[in-house]
Amino acid sequence: MIGDAGAIDAAAHHQKIIGFCCHRLFTIAHRVMLVIVAVQARSLAMRTEQGAMSAMQQSLYRRIQHHPLDRADHAQPFSAKLAQQNGWSAAYARRVVEEYRRFVLLAIASGHIASPSDAVDQAWHLHLCDSRDYWEIFCPNVLRQSLHHEPSRGGASQDRQYQLLYQQTLASYERLFGEAAPADIWPPAPVSSRFIRLDTKRHWYMRRPELPGLRAGALAGAAGSLLLTACATLADIQGPDFLAGYLAALVVWALLAWRWPRLSGRWDRSAEARLPPSLDCYQTAYLAGGERRVLDTGLLRLAQYEQVSMSSTGMVHSLPSAGQGGRHAFERELLRGIGKAKHYLRLSNAGRVAMRSIRQSLEQQKLLFDTVGRARRDMPVLITGALLWSLGAAKLYLGVSHERPIGFLLATLTVFSAMWLFYLWRRGRGLAHTELGRQLLQLKQRHRPTRADSREQTADGFALVGSSALDGTAWAHMPIGSLPTGHGGVSGGTGSSCSTNSSGSGSSCTGSDSGGGSDGGGGGCGGCGGGGD
C-alpha cells in the first residue's frame, strides 16, 4: 500500500512538472506571437504611411514633419491664418498643412516635376510669405536645398503639360505614401478656378448657381423665336427672296451641325470636373478608337502573354497557356469568344459584356457622353433643324395653296431632308467625347513615349494610336488594326507644377495663371524648382 501511494505521488509530481512546462511553453509561444503580430503591424503601418520611401526620404520626411509651422509665439497660427484667408474650417486647414508637408517631400523625392493642388498651393503661398522662415530655416536646415516657386509663362501648351505633371504627382503620392491622395484636397484632376481677393467684413459673397444647358437652351430659344417671327410674315415674302434667305439659313445650319460638338465643348461644364488619376490600356483604347481598338488591344495583350497566336490570314488560335485565363475581364471574355480558333473578322461581338463595362466607366468619369448627355448636347442643333424644316414646309404649303411655282423650294427642302436624316444617322455612330475626354486624349497622345521598352508600353501605345505603335516590334506582323475604328478627340488643358534638383543645380517650374485665376493643378501659380540659388 505504501509503495502504491509513493507511485501515485510520483506520478502526480510528474504531471505537475509536465503541466508547468506546458504552461510556460504556451506563455512563451503566446508572447512570441504577440511580438510577431506587433512587428508585422508596425511594418504594415510603415508601408501604409511611407509607401516606397528610402531611408533618406524617410529622414527628410521626418524633418519636414517636425518643422513647426503653427508656432506658439504667433498670435494667429499658420493653419488659422490659412483657414481665414480661404474660408476653410480649422480642421480642414490643418489637413491642408499636412498635405503641404507631403507635397514638399514629393517635390524633392519624386524624381519628376511635381504639381500642387490648389489647396496645397495656397498653403505654399502662405509659407513663402514668411520669407525668413522659408528661406533661412526651412530650405537650408530642413530640406537642405532650395525649393523655388515661379509664375507661369502661360499658354495652352503649358496648361496641357502641367495637367500631365499633376497626374504624375498623384501617382507618385500613392507610390511614396502607400495610399491615394485625399480627393477633397487633391482633386483627381486640376480644376480650373478663378479667384479674387475679397474683404468678407465689407462684402457678402454667394456661390454662383449651376444652370446646365442654359447657354445652349438660350441659343435654341433665340433661333426658334427668329424662325417663328419669320413664319408670321411668310405670305408677304416673295418666293426668290425667301429661297435665297432659306438657302443661307441651311448653310449656316449645316456648318453649325458640323462644328457643334467642338463649339459646345467651350460651354461644357464637365471640362472643369475631375480627370481620373489613370486609365488602363482598355479604357484608353476605347477612348481613342472605340470598340474595335479595344478588341485589337485585347488580341495584342493575349499575344504578348503567349495565350493566342494570329496568322497572316487573320486566323486567331488559342495556345495551351490560354487555359490560365487573361489578366483582365475583357481578355478572359475574349478568350472564351475565340475558343480553339476563330477568324479575326468574326470576333466583332466578342467581349461585349466587358466592353459595355469599359464604356460605362468612361461615361461615369465624364469622358464620354451617354445617350441622354449626347441628346442634351445636340438639342440646339436638333431643334434648329426641326424649325428650319417646318419653316420650309410651311412655305411649301403656302405656295401650293396659292398655286405658285414651288419646284426650287421642293428641291431645296428635299436636299435639306436628306441632310437632316444623314445628321441623325451620323450622330448615332462613333464616340461622343466630352470636352474633358478630348483634353485627356490629347494629353496622352502628346506625351506618348516615342520608344516602347516593355510589353506594357507597346500595348499602351497601340491603345492610343493603333497599329503604327507596333512598327519595329515583335508584334508588327499581326494583322490587327485593319478595320475602321472610332474617333479620337483633341482639346486643351490646364495645370501647374513644381520641380526640384537635389544636386543643387538651378531648375524652375511653371503653371498657368490667366484671367486673374488659376488653372494648374488646381493652383494659381506654377510650381517650384529646387536647386541652388
Tens-digit pLDDT profile for residues 509-529: 333 333 333 333 333 344 444
Percent of the chain whose pLDDT exceeds 90? 5
Q: Provide the pLDDT for residue 72.
A: 72
- Distance CA(181)–CA(170), nearest Å, equals 7
Q: What pLDDT band is residue 339 in, cutting at 50, 70 and 90?
A: confident
> Terminus-to-terminus CA distance in the chain, angstroms?
99
Residue 429, pLDDT above cutoff 80: no
Of 33-37, 450-454, 491-495, where does mean pLDDT reach its minimum?
491-495
**Grid coordinates in use for 502?**
537635389
Other CB atoms within 10 Å distance of the CB of residue 489: 23
| 211-239 per-position pLDDT tens digit | 445 555 565 566 556 655 655 566 566 76
- Distance CA(60)–CA(142), nearest Å, equals 7
Residue 459, pLDDT above cutoff 50: yes
| 6-17 per-position pLDDT tens digit | 555 665 555 666
- Residues with Cβ within 8 Å of residue 212, at least 6 apart in sequence: 269, 376
Q: Provide the pLDDT for residue 97.
A: 92
Mean pLDDT of 146-167: 74
Residue 141, pLDDT above cutoff 60: yes
- Distance CA(268)–CA(1), nearest Å, equals 103
Residue 506, pLDDT above cutoff 70: no
Q: Provide the pLDDT for residue 512.
A: 34
Residue 380, pLDDT above cutoff 90: no
- Distance CA(128)–CA(121), nearest Å, equals 10
Q: Provide the pLDDT for residue 127.
A: 92
* Beta strands at 341-343 and 315-318: parallel, antiparallel or unpaired: antiparallel
Q: Provide the pLDDT for residue 102.
A: 93
- Distance CA(181)–CA(387), nearest Å, equals 50
- For the chain, the domains span 20-50, 57-192+502-531, 214-267+369-427, 281-368+433-470
